[in-house]
C-alpha cells in the first residue's frame, strides 16, 4: 500500500481492516507524520502524535487513525516546499529596509518575498541608497 492510500484510509475509513494490508516496509511513521502536519485542521492532534513517531508502522497508524477525525473524503493538502534562500546582500538590504521604515515582524514576513524580488530587479538603486551591506554601516 502506498503513502497516498494510507493517508486516504487514515482520514476516511471507519474500521481498521485496511491496516492488515499495510506492510512495515510500505512507509515509515516519520513520513506519515510529515504528510499529516500539512493539514492545518488537525495540527493539535499531529503535534501530539509527534512523540510516537518512533513506534512501529502499524502501531503508529492505529494511534493516528484513532485520533484523526473521520470525513467522507481526504483533505487535499500540498506538501511543504523548500523555502527559497535569499542572498547575503539581499538579507543586508532587507535588514536595513526594515530598520529604516520600522516594519513589524508579521508585516515584514508578509512582504519579504516581494522586497527580495525588487532588490534583485533594481540592485543598483539599492546599493546607492543603502550601501553595499558588507561594512556594517548604518544609514
Residue 60 sits in the same domain as residue 96: no
Range of the domain at 43: 3-67
User: Is residue 10, in this structure, part of any structural domain at all?
Assistant: yes
Q: Are 35 and 79 in contact (CB under 8 A)?
A: yes
Tens digit of each residue's pLDDT, the chain (139 residues): 888 888 888 889 888 899 888 888 888 888 888 888 888 888 888 889 989 989 999 999 999 999 988 888 887 766 666 666 656 556 777 778 788 888 887 888 888 888 777 777 776 666 666 665 555 444 4
Residue 62 sits in the same domain as residue 99: no
User: Is residue 74, in this structure, part of any structural domain at all?
Assistant: no
User: Is residue 76, in this structure, part of any structural domain at all?
Assistant: no
Amino acid at each position: 500500500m502506498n503513502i497516498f492510500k494510507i493517508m486516504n484510509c487514515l482520514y476516511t475509513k471507519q474500521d481498521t481492516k485496511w491496516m492488515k494490508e499495510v506492510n512495515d516496509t510500505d512507509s515509515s511513521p516519520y513520513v506519515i507524520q510529515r504528510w499529516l502536519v500539512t493539514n492545518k485542521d488537525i495540527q493539535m492532534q499531529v503535534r501530539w502524535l509527534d512523540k510516537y513517531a518512533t513506534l512501529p508502522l502499524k502501531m503508529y497508524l492505529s494511534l493516528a487513525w484513532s485520533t484523526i477525525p473521520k470525513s467522507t473524503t481526504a483533505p487535499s493538502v500540498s506538501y511543504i516546499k523548500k523555502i527559497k534562500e535569499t542572498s547575503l546582500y539581499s538579507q543586508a538590504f532587507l535588514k536595513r529596509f526594515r530598520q529604516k521604515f520600522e516594519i513589524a515582524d508579521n508585516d515584514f514576513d508578509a512582504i519579504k518575498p516581494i522586497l527580495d524580488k525588487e532588490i534583485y530587479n533594481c540592485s543598483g538603486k539599492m546599493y546607492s541608497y543603502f550601501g553595499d551591506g558588507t561594512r556594517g554601516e548604518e544609514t
